[in-house]
Chains A and B, each alone.
Chain A
Amino acid sequence: MQTKRMTFSSRWLPYALLAPQVLITLVFFIWPASQALWQSMLRQDPFGLRTTFVWFRNFERLFDNPLYLASMKTTAIFSVATTLLAMSLSLLFAVMVNRMLRSREWYTTFLVWPYAVAPAIAGVLWWFMFNTSVGIVPYMLQGFGYDWNHRLDGTDAMILVVLAAAWKQISYNFLFFLAGLQSIPQSLIEAAAIDGASRTKRFWTIVFPLLSPTTFFLMVVNVVYAMFDTFGVIHATTEGGPAQATNILVYNVFRDGFVNGNLGASAAQSVVLMGIVVVLTVVQFRWIERRVNY
């Protein structure tokens, strides 16, 4: 890793400059993370009197637990659905906005602001629209003969949280897709147009492949978002229900740790989640390397 060619020299100053950040990192990140590792191998008796070291037994239990496995499946469905929905809609919007000249700024402004809405608030907004007694959407769905009830029906609840989570993420994806589209050389597109390729054909054979670094980057970001940042969406609305139908992993850690007070299990789940984050980060970094060579 480089520095400037010419640097300052001081025995203590660089350490002093780094101290605040390193200190906070150690106290609030490294230490708790190592605590989670340690606790994930301990088990407390029901009265909290005795703690025993149980090696990987917490993990074995975790992966034998059908509820946890179900939560993994729920998380997978939720992340994939949210990512697909948010990305395809924002790609569509970005491609359309990219055609515009005068109205581009205007549309961008209108599509960008949901980024500012907290996930929990996004959840409440959609929760209200779909509310079974006063909500506008169930009322309309009733006209089509569909009886919406996310309090009883797991699928309805899942659709609700996916919509809320994806809605909030559209603006982020849109901005990156738009930036990606604008960096594609116009000459390529013109050349293809001269050869008689239609707009649709140009999109799938030139624009979409050239956009693939952005798409891949956004895919990782969206999966991370759906897995970790959507806690608020779930907690403020369905609280994991009905019957665990929207109980994603992050919510499960919270519930086992704070509501059920099962520290060992919660810590083991934290470790599993950290593993997932590390894998996703490594994927991300490899992508960056690839892009440099590209």
Chain B
Amino acid sequence: MVENDRFGSLLAHLILILGVAAVVFPVYVAVIASTHAPGTFLQGVMPLLPGSHAIENYRTVIFEGRAQAGAPPIGLMLWNSFVMAMMVAVGKIAISLLSAFAIVYFRFRFRIFFFWVIFLTLMLPVEVRIVPTYAVVANLGLLNSYAGLSIPLIASATATFLFRQFFMTVPEEMLEAARVDGAGPMKFFKDILLPLSITNIAAMFVIMFIYGWNQYLWPLLVTNDERYYTVVMGIQRMVTGADSEPLWHLVMATVVLAALPPILVILFMQRLFVKGLVETEK
């Protein structure tokens, strides 16, 4: 700190507290709404203090769903989201580690060509080519399956790029020593490279888990069977599905449950998260 300026830092605290309040407020409102009885919302503007129906609302949402509107219980959707997020995160990390290993530790024909094929995918988000990608998945018979939900999202250049950058910083001596001791490529990969990459893998996992959990358009397209709905897309059906005003207390309970797992991941692994986020872009 260059100079001591009392007033300035007071102002800074004030701005930050207001900022934090503004950032937290939407979620606060959602949590409050999820603790009220349905009747509360008929009386006009919603209250800002918690109600007494929290347990009841959450139990309804998780185990029963809304029978009259055809919304399945959230329990299954949460599970589906979890499976999808895990498959996307683990799958991405696995195939990216392998391809980054090949690109950095081997010289072979068409190496540069493959590198670019992989990098093209950086440029094309799913949103841009929805119809043809949907057609491919439909032709492969992958609609309404975990494979259809996750495999098309597994290929992305970000993770490959991160691991390539990291492998380039691993000292040459590691490889030399391993070869002197007679280790083959896969042994080197398994016993030296993987243990060295563990922090990067964990950081990548945090980012990719959140990415997988928060997918919206893709599950919307490839599932029409309730058993495969994910929770983030399920909310949309609750809000716009019925003609009447949505049952806000249940919708907000679902919103809280859907947002909670990735938020917890960030809060508990903040350092890994920041590392993963900042390094994938460099």
Contact = CB atoms under 8 A, between A and B. Distances in A.
In this complex, the interface size class of chain B, counting residues with CB under 8 Å from chain A, is 35 or more
B267 interface: yes
Interface string B1-35: 11101001100110110011001111101100100
Contact of A124 (B8, B132, B136, B239): B239
A29 B124 contact: yes
B217 interface: yes
B102 A18 contact: yes
B216 A20 contact: no
A254 B129 contact: no
A115 B130 contact: no
In this complex, the interface size class of chain A, counting residues with CB under 8 Å from chain B, is 35 or more
Nearest to B206: A116
Nearest to A179: B278
Contacts of B236: 120, 124, 235-236
A115 B128 contact: no
B161 to A, nearest CB: 12
Interface in A136-187: 136, 139, 167, 170, 172, 175-176, 179
A49 interface: no
Given A21-B118, A22-B114, A24-B154, A31 B136 contact: yes
A33 B44 contact: no
Question: Interface of chain B, helix or strand or loop or mixed?
Answer: helix
Among B112, B217, B252, max chain A CB count under 10 A is at B217
Interface in A190-239: 190, 193, 199, 217, 221, 228-229, 231-232, 235-237, 239
20 contacts: A1-B112, A4-B172, A4-B175, A6-B172, A8-B184, A20-B94, A25-B118, A26-B117, A35-B135, A99-B8, A100-B13, A116-B262, A128-B252, A134-B41, A134-B44, A136-B45, A139-B44, A270-B129, A270-B131, A277-B128
Interface of A: 1-10, 13-15, 17-18, 20-22, 24-33, 35-36, 39, 89, 92-93, 96-97, 99-101, 103, 107-122, 124-129, 131, 133-136, 139, 167, 170, 172, 175-176, 179, 189-190, 193, 199, 217, 221, 228-229, 231-232, 235-237, 239, 250, 253-254, 257-258, 263, 266-267, 270, 273-274, 277-278, 281
